[in-house]
Amino acid sequence: MLQVAIVREQTDKIIAGLAKRNFKDAKALINQVLENDQLRRDTQKILDELKAKSNTDSRKIGELMKSGKQDEAAALRASVAADKDKVKSLEAELDAYEKKQLELLYKIPNVPHENVPAGVGADDNISVYQHGTVPQLDADALPHWELIKKYDIIDFDLGIKISGAGFPVYKGKGARLQRALINFFLDEAASFGYREIQPPIVVNEASGYGTGQLPDKEGQMYFVNEDGLYLIPTAEVPITNLYRDVLVAEDELPIKNAGYTPCFRREAGSWGAHVRGLNRLHQFDKVEIVQIRKAEESYQALDDMCAHVQGLLEKLELPYRKLLLCGGDMGFNSAMTYDMEVFSAAQQRWLEVSSVSNFETFQANRLKLRYKSKEGKSQLLHTLNGSALALPRIVAAILENNQTKDGIRIPKVLVPYTGFDIIN
pLDDT at 375 over 60: yes
- The answer to whether position 45 is within a domain reads yes
Residues 91 and 47: beta-carbon distance below 8 Å: yes
- Both 179 and 94 in one domain: the answer is no
Q: Which of these, 238, 207, 255, lies nearest to 366 by C-alpha position?
A: 207
Q: What is the pLDDT of residue 278?
A: 96
Q: Which domain holds residue 17?
A: 4-106
- Both 169 and 98 in one domain: the answer is no
Q: What is the pLDDT of residue 64?
A: 87
- Both 95 and 161 in one domain: the answer is no
CB count within 10 Å of CB 22 equals: 16
Residue 238 half-sphere exposure toward CB, CA atoms < 13 A: 24
- Rounded mean pLDDT, 283-290: 98
- The answer to whether position 113 is within a domain reads no
CB count within 10 Å of CB 312 equals: 23
Question: Cis link prior to 112 (omega < 30° from 0)?
Answer: no
- The answer to whether position 116 is within a domain reads no
Rounded to a whole number, what is the distance in angstroms from the first to the last CA of the chain?
51
- Both 139 and 202 in one domain: the answer is yes
Residue range 82-128, pLDDT digits in tens: 999 999 999 999 999 999 999 999 999 999 999 999 999 999 999 99
Of 106, 136, 167, the domain-final residue: 106
- Both 158 and 192 in one domain: the answer is yes
Residues of the chain with pLDDT > 70: what percent? Answer: 98
Q: Is 138 helix (H, G, I), strand (E, B) or coil?
A: coil
* Strand 378-380, strand 283-293: pairing: unpaired
Q: How far is CA 4 from the centre of its chain?
A: 21
- Both 221 and 85 in one domain: the answer is no
Q: Is 319 helix (H, G, I), strand (E, B) or coil?
A: coil
Q: What is the pLDDT of residue 62?
A: 86
Which distant-in-sequence residues (6+ apart) come within 8 Å of 377 by Cβ?
A: none
- The answer to whether position 166 is within a domain reads yes
Residues of the chain with pLDDT > 90: what percent? Answer: 90
Kindly write down the DSSP assignment for every residue of 249-275, as one continuous string. Answer: EGGGPSEEEEEEEEEE-S----SSGGG
- Rounded mean pLDDT, 202-219: 94
**CA–CA gap between residue 14 and residue 27 (Å, rounded):** 9
* Strand 202-203, strand 223-224: pairing: unpaired
pLDDT at 411 over 60: yes
- Both 130 and 98 in one domain: the answer is no
Residue range 171-201, pLDDT digits in tens: 999 999 999 999 999 999 999 999 999 999 9
Cα–Cα–Cα angle for 78, 83, 88, rounded to 5 degrees: 130
- Both 318 and 241 in one domain: the answer is yes
- The answer to whether position 25 is within a domain reads yes
- Both 310 and 359 in one domain: the answer is yes
Asked which of 69-73, 307-311, 396-400 is least confident by mean pLDDT, the reply is 69-73
Cα–Cα–Cα angle for 359, 205, 267, rounded to 5 degrees: 70
- Rounded mean pLDDT, 6-20: 96
- The answer to whether position 100 is within a domain reads yes
- Both 257 and 194 in one domain: the answer is yes
- Both 279 and 415 in one domain: the answer is yes
Q: Any idea what the CATH number is for the domain that residue 133 is in?
A: 3.30.930.10
Of 106, 130, 163, the domain-final residue: 106
Under the banding of pLDDT at 50, 70 and 90, the label for residue 68 is: confident
- The answer to whether position 332 is within a domain reads yes
**CA–CA gap between residue 420 and residue 224 (Å, rounded):** 40
Q: What is the pLDDT of residue 73?
A: 87
- The answer to whether position 111 is within a domain reads no
**CA–CA gap between residue 33 and residue 108 (Å, rounded):** 10
**CA–CA gap between residue 255 and residue 301 (Å, rounded):** 11
Residue range 223-282, pLDDT digits in tens: 999 999 999 999 999 999 999 999 999 999 999 999 999 999 997 454 555 678 999 999
CB count within 10 Å of CB 3 equals: 15
- Both 200 and 229 in one domain: the answer is yes
Q: Any idea what the CATH number is for the domain that residue 64 is in?
A: 1.10.287.40
Q: What is the mean pLDDT of the chain?
A: 95
Under the banding of pLDDT at 50, 70 and 90, the label for residue 362 is: very high
Q: What is the pLDDT of residue 268?
A: 47
* Total domains, the chain: 2
Q: Which of these, 424, 380, 418, lies nearest to 402 by C-alpha position?
A: 424
